Structure 1
Amino acid sequence: MAIPGLNEKFSVKQYAVKSILLSMLLLVSIFVYRQATAKEVTLIVDYESQIIMTEAKTVGQLLDEIGIYVRGRDKLSPSADERIEKGMIISLRKAFPVFLHVDGQTALVYTTAESTSELLNELAVTVALEDRVEPSLQATLSHGSDILITRVSTSLISEEVSIPFKTEQKNDPTIPRGKKKVTVQGKVGTLLKTYEIVLADGNEESRQLIEEKQLNEPTNSVVLIGTADPEPIVTASARGGGVVTNIIEGIASWYGNGDGLHGAKTASGEVFNKNDYTAAHPTLAFGTRVRVTYLKTGKSVDVRINDRGPFGKNRIIDLSMAAAEAIGLRSAGVGKVTVEVLK
C-alpha cells in the first residue's frame, strides 16, 4: 500500500543531498585546481618577508592583488612586468625622504639608498677630496636624514704691507736749543706676505702665513736736535729791543721735564716741546710774545705764549724748560720775574 506524499518527500531529500554533494565536489575541485595552478613566492618589503600563494601572472599583478602601490623612486626587483615563477623572491624597497644641502641649495629627495655615498652616486653629485660630507660617506641613511656637503678650496694670495720707518734723533751743539733739522727723510719699506686661504662654500674660513719677503727696506729718518744755548737776551732798556706795552711782576715757574707734558698738546692745539722758547699764561692771547726777566740773575728771554697756566697762587707765567734754563731759573724751580708784553 502506498503512503500518499511519501515518495515525493523522499525525492526532495535526495535532491537536496545531491546538491550539497555536488557543491562540495565543486569546491574541492576548485581548491585542488587552485592548489595545482597557484605558485608560492616570497615577498620582501623593506626587509620584512612573507610567503604568498598566488595565481597572478606578473609581479605587478601580485602587488595589485595585495594592495601594494609602487612609486617611481621605489626599488622593485624583479620588475613589475616579470612573469611569476614558482619559488620567486620579490624584493621591494620603499623610497624615503632625505634632505640634501649642497651648493647653496636644499633639495627634498626620495631615495632607497642605504648610505650617503650611494645617494650621491644615485644623484650624480660629485664630491672632491677636500670637500666635507656630513654625515660621512659610509653613514647609513634613514627617513628625514640631512646630508650637508661643504665645498672646500684652498688658494694662495699675496699682500704688500708697509714697514714703518723709525726716527733717529741726534743732539747737535751747532743748532740752537729748541730748533730741529731733518737731515734724512724717512721712507717706509715694503713687505710681501703670502697666505694660504681656506674657503668653505666661498667664504674665508682660515688663513695661514706661509711666506714673508722683504721687497724694500725702510729708510729711517734722522733729525738733529739743537742743544746750543742762545746768548742771554738783555732787557729792552739795555738793548732797545721790541716796544714794551705792559710790564707785570710776579712769580714764574717752569714745566716740561719728567711731568709727561713734553709731546702733549697745549691749550692752543700745538704740540708742546720743552726745548722751544714758549710759555703758558692765564689770559694773554696765543702767539703773544713776551720778555721774561729773572730778577735774581738779571737775565731775560723772549718767549711765545702757546698754553694756559700757571694755576698756582701768585704765579704769573709758566716757562718751558729751555726758557727757564736760559735765564737761570731751572735749578731754582720758581723765582720772581717781570713779564713785558712785546708789540
Structure 2
Amino acid sequence: MTTTLVRAARSQPVDRTPVWFMRQAGRSLPEYRELRQGNQMLEACRTPDLVTEITLQPVRRHNVDAAIFFSDIVVPLQAAGIDVVIEPGVGPVIAHPVRTQADIDSLPELTAEMMPDITESISRTAAELATRDDTALIGFAGAPFTLASYLIEGGPSRNHEKTKAMMAGAPEMFSQLLAKLAAMSTTFIDVQLSAGAQAFQLFDSWAGYLSPRDYRTHVLPHSQRVFSDLAGHDVPSIHFGVQTGELLPAMSEAGSTVVGADFRVEFTDASTRVQPGQALQGNLDPALLFAPWEALQPRIEQIVRDGLSHSGGHIFNLGHGVLPSTDPEVPGRIVDEVHRISTALLSGDDPK
C-alpha cells in the first residue's frame, strides 16, 4: 500500500495532510535520553538495535505519518574512513580539515560494503513499520555543500569563511570536493532506499548562508546530481535547507519532488517560489511549540489551510527541528490536530 506521505509527496490526492517532524527522534523524548546513556552519537548511529528503536520511538509516541531514519549527516564521512567525531555541545569536528588539492585527492570513496549496519538498521525498521497501516520510512543524507563546509571549516562555523574562500578563490577545487561528496551522499541514500526506505530527504543545512548566485553557480549542480543519480529508485524526495527562503526558486530546480520551507518564509510565499505542482513541506516555527495551545492552534490551522490551497501536495512539518526542551506531549497533539483539521477540510466540513 502506498502511504499517505508518499502520495502527498507526489502531489497525489490524500484524505488528510501527513505529518512528521525533523528531529522527532531525539533529545525531546525521555525514552531517547534513557536509551542513549553510555554511548556516543556516532556509535549509536552505527548500532542497528539502537537505530531501530530510536527511529520508532516518535512513531509510537506521536503517531506521525513517517519515521525518519536515525542517523547523522557525517555518518557517511565516518563510514568512508574520515576521522570525525561529534563533540557534545559542539557538533561534528573533523580531525584533518580539507583545504588543499592533496586533501581532496586523498578523500576515500564510500561504498555500500562499508555500511552493512545501515542496511541492517533500515531493513529492521522497515519490517517493524510494515506492521502499521500507513507509516512511511524516510532516509536522508547531508547535501554536498553542507558536508563540504564541515570538512573545510573543521567543524561548525558561524560564517563559513574558509568554505566561501575556497568556493570563490579555487572554484575548480571546490567543485571537485562537492562532486566527491555528492557521490558519498548518493551512495549513503542508495543503501537506505535499497534496504526499504520509501522516500528520502537531502539536508542542505548551511545553504542559507549563500547568495542565490553563488548557490546556482557552485552548489546547485552537485545537488542536482544526487537527485538525478537516485531517480532510478522511483521514490519521492525532499530538499530542505535552513534560512533558504531566497533560495527556494533555485532549490526547487534540484530535482526533488518536495521542497521544504523553513519557518522564516511565509508558506504562501514559498508556494509561489517552487515549480508548479511541486509539493511543499513545512513550516511551523519550532519555538511556537512552547506557546499556549490557544496561541499555537491557529498557527497550525493556517498552515494546514495554506497547504491545502497549494497547487501541489503538502506535508506538515516544522520549519526546522524539534527543540531539545520541547514538551514531548506537544508534537503528538499537533499530529492529531493536523489530521483533524485536514480531514474535515478535505471532506468539505468546518473543522471548528
Larger gyration radius, structure 1 or structure 2: 1
TM-score w.r.t. length of structure 1: 0.17
TM-score, length of structure 2 as denominator length: 0.17
- Using CA pairs below 8 Å that are at least 6 residues apart, which structure has the higher relative contact order? 2
